[in-house]
Structure 1
Amino acid sequence: MDIDALVGRINVLARKHKNEGLTEEEQKERSELREIYLNNIRRNFRQQLESIEWVDEDPNGTNLKH
């Protein structure tokens, strides 16, 4: 399931929960979809952090990478 479809389904279930309530099966689905979504966010954030390269300039004028 792509991210847009995932978010769309989560939103459908959220609206239904607000208006009429969810069945036990729908609550389980919502919980599973939320976990998938959060894991995706965590993975993407971790990849962004790992791609950051720190560079400092030392007093001699050379760049030091961390």
Structure 2
Amino acid sequence: MEQIIARINELSRKHKTVGLSEAELAERDVLRKKYLENFRRNFRQQLDAIEFVDDRDGNSKS
């Protein structure tokens, strides 16, 4: 994932300075999509790991 982020940042810097070719724009889109898929998967795992506890009776609920 670190390599994907590094490449996205590299393409972003290049886009701001000299612009990107069509191939680089396509690469950037693919990398962004991979990053977002990974982010969503990790976030979903974090949400699924949360347990709710009812303070009134001490029972946990998932």
Counterpart of 1:54 (choices 38, 52, 55) is 52
2:35 maps to 1:40: no
Counterpart of 1:28 (choices 23, 26, 32) is 26
Which consecutive unaligned segments of at least 5 residues does structure 1 have? none
Question: CA shift at 1:38, angstroms?
Answer: 0.6
State percent identity of aligned pairs: 51
Which consecutive unaligned segments of at least 5 residues does structure 2 have? none
Tell me the TM-score normalized by structure 2. 0.92
Runs of 4 or more consecutive aligned structure 1 residues displaced over 3 Å after TM superposition: none
Match of 2:59 in 1: 64
The alignment yields a C-alpha RMSD, in angstroms, of 0.8
Greater CA radius of gyration, 1 or 2?
Answer: 1
Deviations 1:30-66 (A, max 9, x none): 00000000111100000000000111132xxx41121
